[in-house]
Chains A and B, each alone.
Chain A
Amino acid sequence: MELPSELRYTKDHEWVSIEGNHAKVGITDYAQDALGDIVFVQLPTLDGSVSAGESFAEVESTKSVSDIYAPVPGRVIEINSELVDSPELLNTSPYERGWICVLEMSDPAAAGELLTADSYLGLIS
């Protein structure tokens, strides 16, 4: 299972890539594997404000639906529209083409609360 060390993680199995005050968000390889074939993504609302831990998107597989929680507080400034017609990218490319959205962080310090790859690995193993 892939777990890039440069990313940050949440206990809800999202990954976060921090660049300045922007946070790109997706779900981990572990999460996509547990969900099975993802067939639908309800993307976050563009320009919507979210607080940390708020459910702001959903991914659905043939067997279940899972909430995606905002890992940091902020505003949704970009969504990955490619997922509308190709939700399977979450399975095939969870860290690259399967990104879900980019948040402009309202409190960049909140990123400090996120888990390192090692701590996340400890959580799932």
Chain B
Amino acid sequence: MIRVDGVNKSFGDNHVLKDINVEFQQGKINQIIGKSGSGKSVLAKCIVGLHDVDSGNVFFDDQSFTSMDRMEKKDIRRQIGMLFQGSALFDSLTVEQNVMFPLKMFANLPQSEMLDRVNFCLEHVKIEGKNELFPSELSGGMQKRVGLARAIAMNPQYLFCDEPNSGLDPQTAIVIDNLIQELTDDFNMTTIVITHDMNSVMEIGDNIIFIHDGRIWWQGDRKDILYTENKELNEFVYASSLMEHVKEALKGHQ
């Protein structure tokens, strides 16, 4: 379980995160939503330790990650898989080498077992026969899938996805969302997705956290999000008229 307790983060005079308190549900898909520049990616990077927090604490299973030394943080990080916005695959390595990379660094396995694990992960994200290709030879959607395969290679407890649908067409975005859902269920991971894609929220979000102006503005279930009285959240959710139609359709159903 991940808990964020009173976290503040500034960049110079820009106070990005203001007293963030949030608990992420274990084994579920937790989605952090908000406008561009609201601080959601910074929050995710603070949680995984890519940014140091100015004050407050991040807890992984009641262990304070913030006060850990480098070696202890390394141990926690090995339980984290992350899919980056631009996939962040290593350009000089093939698909197979990318997915095998964390295994080579940390798993004491024979080459054949590592290869089996790589193929298992690639099958899980529905990529087969592309082992020898380089990232530059893959489409954006495929790069995301390989990024997901690499993220789950070490069998992590936590999966972070930073805007997994950005730059993807709606059809591929749904495929990636479904993959995240499947991986979360199959590997019983606690997943944290940073997104501003309402389609993704309605599709896979279990626990939605809305950030506005560096603060947690709203937290709840995806069913409640359409009927919230929260003004800022309403503006965000109904920025596209499509969501109004969704709401009407759902009312019709009920």
A complexed with B: no
Instruction: Using CB atoms and an 8 Å cutoff, list the residues of chain A in contact with chain B.
Output: none
